[in-house]
Structures are given as structure tokens and as C-alpha cells.
Amino acid sequence: MLPWHNNSFNQLISKKKIFPQSLLIYGPQGIGKVDFAQTLIQALLCATPLSDHQPCGKCQSCYWLMQKQHPDLITLSIENNNTQDGEEKPLEDKNKEKKTHYINIDAVRELGSFLTVGAQRQGYKIVFIEQADALNINAANALLKALEEPPTNILFILVANDIKKILPTILSRCQKLRLNQPNAQDAFNYLDIPQHQADYLLSVYGTPLSLKRAIDQGAEELRKPYLTLLNKNQVQLLELSALAQKIPLEYWLDWTHKWSVDLIAHHFTQQKWFHKDTEFSAKPMNDYILFDLLHWEHQLKNAKRYQFHPLVAKLFIEDLLIPWLPINRYLY
């Protein structure tokens, strides 16, 4: 669990005996909500928790959880989400993933027998729903039934990025806990990089967890070389495309889109919003080139919808880089 969630954790777990029967943990993506929920579940199920309520990591229950086979826990989640672990999967697996972007009713029906059989141990049985905002309507209605009259030892723990996507009837049955972004100091301590660097990197990646993932995957070290090339005088499509293809697609598209936004922001406000560490000396833009730039920004933003399954990555990238070339010619 991440250090900036300690207070929320302590407040909840100190009331372990009167724990809310349905708890919804929500907040922005990439701040560690699932880690938080998993630690909470382990602490609730642990047979011999430590004096600060943290799970012991040694008892049978903790062992079962580490093996992901605790008999008193059932987890509903979207499986095979390859954006979570960053692993490349074979194409046929990727195609399967498209069908599982929501939690369907069959998954919720499996809860039936779990809810009616007593706990293996004296204590709670927990239903953990990792992406409560991914329940489709039938699944949400089935869940609602379960939430209405649960046996007293059952706890529901739900996690969501966007509570607007959850049925109001489910929301009203849950106690809600909002987890927040870490403050700047916590984020710097966690990332273990100098404050000025963390400052501008966070403006590119948004949250400390996303930033850490980009650093761990080796993507961040390609960002500056890529932006430098993008802004090279008379850059050629071939060299630009060759470097772009070495960058994980989601980063490449996000950086490029943010770059287009930076140019627009700079035109109107003399400030960049995202790649604040990138120097450039461009000419002031006339209306025609500004129009081209706005159009390119729009194309990049739309392309984000297709980024996880382009037919041919090279074509996808080059298609989006071509509109940049005349802008580049004009600016430099």
C-alpha cells in the first residue's frame, strides 16, 4: 500500500469490528486504490494482525491471499487487462480482451453460492469488485440484489475510478471513501527523484504511479530524444517514425498529443502545460498554421480510442505524424 493512504487505512481498520458492510473506494486513476483495497482485505482476513492492524503476512489466511486462493474472498475483475502490467500479449489474447471490457452477469451470479456458504474461518467473507464502474447493467442489477440483504458476515468492497458510471441504487447502499492524490512531498519521497524533476514529470504523467510505471518500463528515457527529434528542423518522416515505433504506443500517442496541446497553449499563453522540460524556439504562428495544429491535436485525441488495437502500428503512427511535417517546416 502507498504511504499517502496510511491515514485512511488506519481510520477504517481501527473499526474492524463494525466495518461498513458495503464500502466503495473511489478516486482518480493511478493513485493506488486497488493496492489499498487489497491491503485492507488482507488486514480484515488476517488471523493474527500486528499491533498497528497491518496484516501479519505469516498466518494461513495471509498465505492463502498471497497464493490468490483464499476461500473467504471472491474477486470480480476485468481479466487480462494488458495495460495494467504492460506485458505484450499475443494477438489472439488481445482479441479476446476486447470482449471483456466489462464485468458481465455470469460473474455476478457466481456470487450466489459464495454468499450462502458459511465462512471457512470465523470471520468475514469478502466480495471484492475491482472495477465497479465496469459492471454492465445486468451485472449491476444482480449485484444490487446481493447488496440488499447480505448475510451479516459478508463485506462488499468495491473500487471505481468513476462513480458516475455506477447505478445510483448501488451507490446509495455503499459507504464511500474517496482516496486522493498524494501531496507533492509524499510523491517526491515515494519516487525518490529530485523535486524539480518530479515536478515536471508529474505534469506529463499525471500521477506518481503512472510516472513510476513509465520510468520502470524504460519509456521515460525515450521521451526527450523523441521530442528533440520531433522539433528538429526539417525532420524526415522515416527517422521520426523509426524512433516512434520503439516507444510503447500508449506513451508515444500521449506524449505527441500533449506536445500538440503544448504548442497551442504556448501560442495563447506563452506557457506549456505538459512537457515543461522541453525547450523550443518556434516562430509565432499565423492563423493557417494554427488551424492545422488544432486539427492535428484533434486527430491525436481521437486516435487515443484506437490505440490498443491498431491494425498496423507503423501505419497508425505515420498517419498521425504526417500532419506534423508541414507544421514543423513552418515553425523551425
* Residues found near Zn ion in the complex (CB under 5 A): 46, 55-56, 59, 62
Q: Which is nearer to Zn ion, 61 or 328 (CB)?
A: 61
User: Which sign does the torsion angle of CA 33, 34, 38, 39 carry?
Assistant: negative
Minimum CB distance to Zn ion, residue 149 (Å): 30
Distance CA 103, CA 134 (A): 6
From the CB of 48, what's the least distance to Zn ion, in Å?
Answer: 5
Q: Which three cell numbers stand for residue 276?
A: 515543461
Radius of gyration of the CA atoms of the chain, in A? 24
User: How far is it, in rounded angstroms, from Cα 141 to Cα 169?
Assistant: 9
Q: Which is nearer to Zn ion, 57 or 151 (CB)?
A: 57
Task: Give CA–CA dist 101/211, Å, rounded.
Answer: 24
Cβ distance to Zn ion smaller for residue 65 or 227: 65
Nearer to Zn ion by Cβ, of 46 and 126: the residue is 46
Q: How far is the CB of 94 from Zn ion (least distance, A)?
A: 37
Shortest reach from residue 307's CB to Zn ion, in Å: 41
Nearer to Zn ion, 51 or 113 (CB): 51
Q: Name the minimum Å distance from CB 121 to Zn ion.
A: 11
What is each CA distance from 323 to 261, 298, 316, 329, in whole angstroms?
A: 15, 11, 13, 11
Q: Give 32 or 55: the residue with its C-beta nearer to Zn ion.
A: 55
Shortest separation between residue 64's beta carbon and Zn ion, angstroms: 10
Computed from CA positions of residues 83, 87, 91, 92, in that sequence, does the dihedral angle turn out positive or negative? negative
Instruction: List, in order, residues 6 or more apart from 207 with CB less than 8 Å away.
Output: 28, 29, 30, 31, 181
Amino acid residing at 328: N
- Tell how far CA 166 is from the center of its chain: 18
The three cell numbers of residue 211 are 510516472
Question: Distance (Å, rounded) from C-alpha 254 to C-alpha 297?
Answer: 11
Inter-residue contact 97 to 81 (CB < 8 Å): yes
CA–CA distance, 83 with 34 (Å, rounded to integer): 15
Least CB distance to Zn ion at residue 120 (A): 14
Rounded Cα distance between 319 and 67, Å, is 45
Contact indicator for 146, 111 with CB cutoff of 8 Å? yes
Rounded Cα gap, residues 139 and 330, in angstroms: 53
In this complex, which beta carbon is closest to Zn ion, that of residue 63 or of residue 291?
63
Q: Closest approach of Cβ 68 to Zn ion, in Å?
A: 15
For Zn ion, the closer of residues 49 and 208 by Cβ is 49
At its nearest, how many Å lie between Zn ion and the CB of residue 47? 6
Cα 153 from Cα 162, distance rounded (Å) = 28
Closest CB to Zn ion among residues 56, 115: 56
Q: Which of 210, 226, 257, 237 is nearest to 86 (CA)?
A: 210
